[in-house]
Amino acid sequence: MKRGKLLRLTAICLAFYGCVLAACLYGYTVFIQHQMANQIGHALEDVAAQSRLVLRQEVEAKQQLLQGVAQQIVSAGAYQPEAGVRSLMPLVKMYGFKRMGIATADGTAFTTDNRVIQVGQRDFFLAAMENEKVLTAPVKDSTDGMWI
């Protein structure tokens, strides 16, 4: 009889300690998951901040490049947009652009793919005419309706 009570007590203690151990393991697992989620979140924030910086630097470098091209075109003497467009061809090939163009004050744009299009009512053109630097969201190509 004593032996049976001892075995039952031992079994109850083992079950209790087993439950305590399982609860501790579960709590530790939840804690580790929370810590990992925080670390991953912080790492992603750092990567995003670095990406923003790199993108900002790339955009600024390309704006400076375009400003340099614009200065070369204007300083070449009599302003002829049709001739100036030829100087943009290396940039179109280098960066895989669909096209680039030079617009006159009336909104007529001469492009690297030999098109003459009207951009005078486009937001980017109107902003540029106010001497603003402009980066636009994708726009629909007025010649074929495709997104560019």
Structure tokens of 64? 């400076």
State residue 7's pLDDT score: 83
State residue 107's pLDDT score: 92
Structure tokens of 98? 């669909």
Report the distance separating Cα 136 and Cα 61, nearest Å.
17
Report the distance separating Cα 81 and Cα 101, nearest Å.
9
Give pLDDT tens digits for 38-79.
999 999 999 998 998 998 888 888 778 777 777 776 675 556
Structure tokens of 142? 């007025």
* pTM across the whole model: 0.52
- The rounded radius of gyration (Å) of the Cα atoms in the chain is 33
Q: Which contacts of 67-71 are long-range, i.e. CB under 8 A and separated by 24 or more positions? A: none
